[in-house]
Each structure stands twice: as C-alpha cells, then as structure tokens.
Amino acid sequence: MQQNLKVAVVCASNQNRSMEAHDALLKLGFDTYSYGTGSAVKLPGQTVDRPVTYKFGTPYKTMYDELKETDVDTYTQNGVLAMLERNSRVKLAPERFQDTKNVQWDLIVTFEDRVYENVVDELIMRSSKGLIQSICVVNIPTKDNREDAVVGALLCENLCLELEETPKKEDWIRVIQEFEKTHSLPILHTFY
C-alpha cells in the first residue's frame, strides 16, 4: 500500500537505527529516506575502542567486502556483516543529512537527542534561507544496538501510520503527545 507521508529517518552513521526504520517503512509503502549526521560513518571494530570509519557515500557493499576480508568471524559475530547486507538491499550508501539538497519531508524521525539537535540546527539554518516548509521533527530515543533498533523501527512505523491517518499537521502535536504517553517515552518534537 502506497503511503503519502514523506519520511526521513536519521541516526549518527546511517547504519543501524535509521536503516532498520528505513527498511521497515519501505515495506509499508512510505516514501522514505535515511541519513546520518556524524562527520563520518563509524562501525564497531575488532575491539571496542577502535571503530572502523568510512566516509559518507562509501557503498555498503564496499564496507561489507572489506570487513569480511579483514575478519569475517568478528564481523559476523557482532552482526555488522548482516547489518551491511541489509543496508545494501535498501540503498547504495550512507548519506549525510547536512549534505542533502532540494528534498522536502513531512516528517523527520531521529533516534537520539544529539542527532535530533543536529537535525534541528540544520533546519534552523535552512529555514533562515527559506529552503524548507512545514516539517515535523520527532525524536524516538533508541539505544544503538540491534535489538533496540528493531524496537525503535517498530515505534517509528506505528507513529508514521498514526500521522498518516491525521491529515492536518496542526493535529500532529496531539497525536505525538498521545503516542508519547501510550509508550511512556520522552519524545522531543518540533515543527519547522
């Protein structure tokens, strides 16, 4: 079923939380985009204190091939190879939110406060230049691990479905507040 809501989902590296939600929303027929806000893409490395870093725009398949060749056991065990495989089925490469041009969304969902603040800062800059119109930004706090990413994606799906059923954006605040109360979540939200 095709949905009319145009949604962006955003996390730090456009790898785990945003891509889990991107995949889920695409399956529901939403016009979905995903991004990261960090300066680079970071993945768990062979040790906790040494993440693997890539530039935004590096294809997921390239990351997969390199990490598989480097240490297939570690990257299979920690789930990174499975995540990259899923990501490459959804889109070519991670994209940085701040580098997007000429895209208008109805809703932007972030998954941590820091990312929410980065998105809001970018939208403030764009609105001062007249580059955006009527965007709702919502943060669904989600820890950056596989299990919580699945839960965050499910919450994102449910919120998107509820907002899709609410055609007037001025009524979205009420829907978001009810959603926050129902799920006992501290949900940051704002409109631009």
Q: What is the pLDDT of residue 132?
A: 74
Q: Which two tokens stand for residue 35?
A: 């991004």
pLDDT for residue 85 is more than 90: yes
Q: How would you class 146 by CB atoms within 10 Å of its CB: exposed for 0-12, middle for 13-18, buried for 19 or more?
A: middle
Expressed in percent and rounded to 5, the helix, strand and coil fractions of the chain are 50, 20, 30
Helix-then-strand count for the chain, H and E: 6, 7
pTM above 0.75, yes or no: yes
**CA distance from start to end of the chain:** 28
pLDDT per residue as tens digits for the range 125-169: 888 777 777 899 999 999 999 999 999 999 999 999 999 999 898
pLDDT for residue 2 is more than 70: no
